[in-house]
Structure 1
Amino acid sequence: MREIVIGAAQMGGIQKAESREAVVDRMLALLAQAAEAKCDLVVFPELALTTFFPRWWMEDQDEVDTWFETEMPGPATQPLFDAAKRHGIAMTFGYAEKTPEGRYFNTSILTDKSGTIVGKYRKVHLPGHSEYDHDRAFQHLEKRYFEPGDLGFPVWRNLDAWMGMCICNDRRWPEVYREMGLQGVELITLGYNTPSVNSQDSAEGLKERLYHSELSMTAGAYQNAAWVVGVAKGGDEDGHPLMAGSIIVDPNGFVVARAKTEGDELVVHACDMDLCAFGKRTIFDFARHRRVEHYGRITGQTGVILPNEAG
């Protein structure tokens, strides 16, 4: 048995006025709980250090830059790395990254139990829009403030398992899981900041949005015989409701643990990586069953082309 005790560290809303240091204190409290629960790995949400700032229209680049980290760890986040090392807990969390070259990404990092960064992922599927949209109930400007990720979907050997990461909207795209599945991934971690309502369809509320989120993650887990840990930021954030719904999904697509609140909460489950083996050698034995000669459209086109328009 290759057991990893995982703590899904859901966080309540982070207000615009809340400092990095205050947020890190909350993360440290969750890490302390994880240590008591003998966790090996703690998974924090997307943009875990700040409010979800893409909901705000900003024209001043200096203002935009205040939400980005230029180093990791930095002065505000070093205590988090120190505590993880002291507890002997690996961790992953999301943040806004500004590179030395002046590029901007929605990023997630993975550490080992010594607090050393062993993996980095940059969000590929950026939702929303890049210009102010008067028809939306609120803005979603990830395409304005971030570039699409440039690292692909790598996996890393960590905690005696093959681990991969994705972020928020990535979870809705089956190609994401399959890219990692084709590298033998056993554990996929992802954080998200998802509004409780659809800014373009007020009839789609919390129930429907939680269903779609869970559907995406359970399907990705089952179809690639991998554990999936999805961790939310939830509750009220600057007057905007974020859905919670953090879950841990086993390699058969079943939810084995879930958050009960919309606030700071640690959801713990002992995940046996050996449970991935059966699916990978039977129904999802890719080497035996995949038929790549018929999949050309998946990478050959983006938008829909109707048969009578194909020429």
Structure 2
Amino acid sequence: MRVIKIGGAQMGPIQKAEDRASVVARMIALLDRAAEQGCGLVVFPELALTTFFPRWKEHEADIPSFYEDAMPNAATQPLFDRAKAHGIAISFGYAERTPEGRRFNTSILTDRTGAIVGKYRKVHLPGHVEYDPERTHQHLEKRYFEPGDLGFPVWRNEGAVMGMCICNDRRWPETWRVMGLQGVELVVLGYNTPSVNSQMGDEGLEKRLYHSELSITSGAYQNACWAVAVAKAGDEDGHPLMGGSIIVDPNGFVVARAQTEGDELIVADADMDACNFGKETIFDFARHRRIEHYGRITAQTGATPPQD
């Protein structure tokens, strides 16, 4: 057995006025709780250091302050130090600004010494670029980030093959399959998902949680891997984010689930060898995939129905 005790460190809301030191202190408190339970890996949400600023255009002058120019940096070094002291690998998301001024929605993965072993930049950016008066709230990720340029790599860490994705990536089967084709055994992801659909307000929280869970459980099942999906949740500056953090096994079953919309730790013992059966039977890609029929997936973007 190759068991990793995983902690999903859901975070409650981060208000615009909350500074990095306060946020990092909350993350360290969750990390300490995970250490008490013997976790070897702790996963934090997307944009774990700040409020979800892509909801704004009216505060655009403040936006540059939400990016990180280096990782770790002075504000986050205490988190890395505590993770190293506990011997816990961590993953969390943040807004990255490169030396060239490029901006990405990014997540990193460390080993138990606090060294960064993997970086991922969000590929599937939702939302729009310009202010949309028809929406109940804005979702300006396409304004404040560019699509990730690193693809969907995987890394060997903690004796397992690990990959990362972020928020909207979870809804795209291509995300999971590209990692699955690299033998991924554990996908870690964070999200900041509004509780309300800005374009279909009557969808309701129950359906939004269902669709989130459906995308994660199906991705894990169809690639015979574990998945840890961790939310930032609750009311951020009057804008509600949904919780629903879960840990999912390689058969697509939820084995741990958050009960609140606040800072909360969920824990599960994840045996990486549990991936083997699915990878060697129904999802033995080498035996069963028929790539001669899949060209359309990468040859086009939009759908093209047959002509009448």
State the TM-score, normalized to the length of structure 2. Answer: 0.99
1:129 corresponds in structure 2 to: 128
2:55 corresponds in structure 1 to: 55
SS at structure 1 position matched to 2:267:
strand
SS at structure 1 position matched to 2:282:
coil
SS at structure 2 position matched to 1:132:
coil
Query: Do residues 29 (structure 1) and 51 (structure 2) align?
Result: no
- In the alignment, the residues of structure 2 paired with residue 150 and residue 71 of structure 1 have an alpha-carbon distance, to the nearest angstrom, of 18
Offset, 1:63: 2.6
2:78 corresponds in structure 1 to: 79
- In the alignment, the residues of structure 2 paired with residue 56 and residue 197 of structure 1 have an alpha-carbon distance, to the nearest angstrom, of 16
2:119 corresponds in structure 1 to: 120
Offset, 1:205: 1.1
Matches within 5 A, 1:96-245: 96-245=95-244
Amino acid at match of 2:20: R
- In the alignment, the residues of structure 1 paired with residue 152 and residue 192 of structure 2 have an alpha-carbon distance, to the nearest angstrom, of 20
- In the alignment, the residues of structure 1 paired with residue 285 and residue 153 of structure 2 have an alpha-carbon distance, to the nearest angstrom, of 18
Q: Is the 8 A contact 1:58 1:64 kept in 2?
A: no
Segments of 5+ residues of structure 1 without an aligned counterpart are none
1:15 corresponds in structure 2 to: 15
Offset, 1:64: 2.0
- In the alignment, the residues of structure 2 paired with residue 177 and residue 119 of structure 1 have an alpha-carbon distance, to the nearest angstrom, of 17
- In the alignment, the residues of structure 2 paired with residue 20 and residue 40 of structure 1 have an alpha-carbon distance, to the nearest angstrom, of 25
SS at structure 2 position matched to 1:29:
helix
Amino acid at match of 2:36: E
- In the alignment, the residues of structure 2 paired with residue 4 and residue 10 of structure 1 have an alpha-carbon distance, to the nearest angstrom, of 18
Q: Is the 8 A contact 1:67 1:96 kept in 2?
A: yes
- In the alignment, the residues of structure 2 paired with residue 58 and residue 34 of structure 1 have an alpha-carbon distance, to the nearest angstrom, of 38
- In the alignment, the residues of structure 1 paired with residue 64 and residue 16 of structure 2 have an alpha-carbon distance, to the nearest angstrom, of 14
Note the alpha carbon deviations across 1:85-137, whole angstroms, 9 max, x for none: 00000000000000011100000000000000000000000000000000000
Offset, 1:308: 1.9
Offset, 1:59: 7.4
Aligned length: 308
SS at structure 2 position matched to 1:308:
coil
SS at structure 2 position matched to 1:21:
helix
Offset, 1:186: 0.0
2:94 corresponds in structure 1 to: 95
- In the alignment, the residues of structure 1 paired with residue 219 and residue 278 of structure 2 have an alpha-carbon distance, to the nearest angstrom, of 13
Offset, 1:179: 0.2
SS at structure 2 position matched to 1:217:
helix
- In the alignment, the residues of structure 1 paired with residue 247 and residue 113 of structure 2 have an alpha-carbon distance, to the nearest angstrom, of 24
Runs of 4+ in 1 over 3 A off after TM superposition: none
1:2 corresponds in structure 2 to: 2
SS at structure 1 position matched to 2:266:
strand
- In the alignment, the residues of structure 2 paired with residue 264 and residue 63 of structure 1 have an alpha-carbon distance, to the nearest angstrom, of 26
Q: Is the 8 A contact 1:110 1:117 kept in 2?
A: yes
- In the alignment, the residues of structure 1 paired with residue 198 and residue 277 of structure 2 have an alpha-carbon distance, to the nearest angstrom, of 41
- In the alignment, the residues of structure 1 paired with residue 8 and residue 236 of structure 2 have an alpha-carbon distance, to the nearest angstrom, of 20
- In the alignment, the residues of structure 1 paired with residue 24 and residue 92 of structure 2 have an alpha-carbon distance, to the nearest angstrom, of 11
SS at structure 2 position matched to 1:307:
coil
Note the alpha carbon deviations across 1:30-51, whole angstroms, 9 max, x for none: 0000110010000000000000
Query: Mean alpha-carbon deviation: is it higher for 63-72 or for 88-97?
Result: 63-72
Identity %: 75
Offset, 1:58: 4.9
Amino acid at match of 1:108: S
SS at structure 2 position matched to 1:195:
coil
- In the alignment, the residues of structure 1 paired with residue 169 and residue 213 of structure 2 have an alpha-carbon distance, to the nearest angstrom, of 13
Distance 1:282 1:305, change over 3 A: same
Segments of 5+ residues of structure 2 without an aligned counterpart are none
Offset, 1:215: 0.2
